């Protein structure tokens, strides 16, 4: 699959934003490390929401006819893309009510109810983002429950690293935030490792024989019938060399998981260390972006069988 920059930016930014927002709610409820002040909570919430909004805006850049984008909310009952949009939009007012109740010191039940609802909706929205890809039977590398699991884990990992940065900047006790980040980042790393292990041989897949129905003998492509590329070759023909993919997987683990982990140790030892927290957050998000690029680059759509691939 052709990796579109706008979609990569959208999924990474909105995943981090939703992760940050729901973890911010948890940090507020349990007053982790002493608890953020209302002003700090509101700033953190607005940072999360702007990540989400910029992500959603960037996702419209890959539309060829964006003037009809508003119609994307209409097929909630069948389409995961539509559901994702609806959930993201429903999240916004709930999150604003939560931040307002923090700012104006509203009764605790109001603050907790809306915080909880927006945290749940954040979870559902990131799950829907993953399901956009996981529901496609045409791409074996995506058609697995590991995909929404990876999207959630990586979104929350990026969010937890951003939250740790916030805690360091606010001068809170960093220990609970370090523990939370360490746990979420290691879960994300394990889930990603399982995914990479699984797509090495993803089980039964369509072949050129089932694609052409000529199942009794070897089939090979003689001619694709077009002179230059088509929409299909541009959209689905993208291929990445196995060696390069392996190298990028090392980058994903080094940049996305190992470096933030190392920085967590630094923050723990220094009892602060703002530079280390900045590096951890930036590395985590950059690693997630590389992971997302590879997620698209490694996906093999079955239409490639008609263009000569023996197996997808």
φ, ψ dihedrals at 246, nearest 5°: -60, -40
- Which residues from 264-303 bind other proteins, rule CB under 8 A? 301-303
221 near other proteins (CB under 8 A) = yes
Taking the complex as a whole, the smallest distance from the CB of residue 77 to other proteins amounts, in Å, to 9
Taking the complex as a whole, the smallest distance from the CB of residue 33 to other proteins amounts, in Å, to 41
Structure tokens at 244: 């390069």
Q: Residues near 210 by Cβ (< 8 Å), separated by ≥ 6?
A: none
One symbol per residue from 108 to 147: x for binding other proteins (CB under 8 A), - otherwise; what is it? ------------------------x--xxxxx--------
Taking the complex as a whole, the smallest distance from the CB of residue 15 to other proteins amounts, in Å, to 19
**Which residues are paired to 207 by β-bridges?**
311
Taking the complex as a whole, the smallest distance from the CB of residue 251 to other proteins amounts, in Å, to 26
74 near other proteins (CB under 8 A) = yes
Q: Which is nearer to other proteins, 105 or 223 (CB)?
A: 223
8 near other proteins (CB under 8 A) = no
Q: Which is nearer to other proteins, 129 or 158 (CB)?
A: 129
Please name which of 11, 86, 24, 80 lies closest in space to residue 52, comparing C-alpha atoms.
Answer: 11
Q: Which is nearer to other proteins, 50 or 212 (CB)?
A: 212
Structure tokens at 264: 């967590």
Question: Nearest 5°: CA angle at 132, between 128 and 137?
Answer: 135
Among 126, 211, 248, 276, binds other proteins (CB under 8 A): 211
Q: Which is nearer to other proteins, 156 or 296 (CB)?
A: 296
DSSP state, residue 311 = B
One symbol per residue from 224 to 253: x for binding other proteins (CB under 8 A), - otherwise; what is it? xxxxxxxxx--xx-----------------
The one segment of 24-32, 101-109, 212-220, 258-266 that binds other proteins by CB under 8 A: 212-220
**Alpha carbons 5 and 8: distance in angstroms, whole number:** 5
193 near other proteins (CB under 8 A) = no
The sign of the CA dihedral 65, 126, 107, 180 is negative
201 near other proteins (CB under 8 A) = no
Among 69, 190, 250, 265, binds other proteins (CB under 8 A): 69
φ, ψ dihedrals at 107, nearest 5°: -55, 150
Q: Which is nearer to other proteins, 226 or 244 (CB)?
A: 226
**Alpha carbons 24 and 159: distance in angstroms, whole number:** 9
Please name which of 202, 227, 216, 230 lies closest in space to residue 304, comparing C-alpha atoms.
Answer: 230
3-class DSSP assignment, residue 71: helix
DSSP state, residue 300 = -
Contact at 8 Å (CB) between 301 and 133? no
Residues at the contact surface with other proteins, assessed by CB under 8 A: 1, 62-69, 71-75, 78-82, 85, 132, 135-139, 204, 206, 210-214, 217-232, 235-236, 301-303, 306-307
């Amino acid at each position: 699959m052709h990796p579109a920059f706008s979609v990569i930016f959208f999924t990474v930014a909105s995943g981090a934003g939703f992760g940050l927002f729901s973890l911010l709610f948890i940090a507020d409820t349990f007053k982790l490390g002493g608890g953020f002040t209302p002003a700090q909570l509101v700033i953190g919430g607005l940072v999360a929401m702007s990540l989400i909004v910029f992500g959603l805006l960037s996702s419209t850049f890959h539309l060829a006819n964006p003037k009809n984008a508003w119609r994307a909310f209409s097929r909630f009952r069948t389409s995961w893309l539509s559901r994702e949009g609806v959930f993201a939009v429903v999240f916004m007012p709930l999150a604003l009510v939560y931040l307002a109740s923090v700012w104006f010191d509203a009764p605790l039940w109001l603050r907790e109810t809306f915080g909880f609802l927006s945290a749940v909706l954040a979870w559902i929205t990131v799950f829907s983002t993953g399901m956009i890809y996981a529901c496609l039977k045409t791409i074996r590398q995506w058609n697995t429950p590991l995909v929404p699991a990876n999207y959630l884990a990586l979104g929350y990992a990026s969010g937890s690293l951003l939250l740790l940065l916030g805690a360091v900047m606010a001068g809170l006790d960093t220990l609970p935030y370090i523990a939370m980040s360490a746990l979420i980042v290691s879960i994300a790393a394990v889930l990603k490792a399982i995914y990479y292990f699984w797509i090495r041989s993803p089980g039964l897949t369509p072949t050129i024989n089932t694609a052409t129905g000529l199942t009794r003998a070897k089939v090979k492509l003689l001619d694709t019938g077009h002179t230059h590329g088509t929409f299909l070759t541009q959209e689905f023909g993208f291929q990445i060399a196995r060696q390069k993919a392996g190298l990028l997987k090392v980058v994903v683990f080094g940049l996305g998981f190992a470096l933030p982990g190392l920085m967590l140790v630094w923050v723990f030892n220094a009892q602060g260390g703002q530079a280390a927290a900045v590096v951890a957050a930036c590395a985590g998000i950059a690693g997630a972006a590389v992971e997302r690029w590879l997620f698209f680059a490694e996906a093999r759509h079955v239409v490639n069988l008609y263009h000569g691939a023996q197996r997808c």
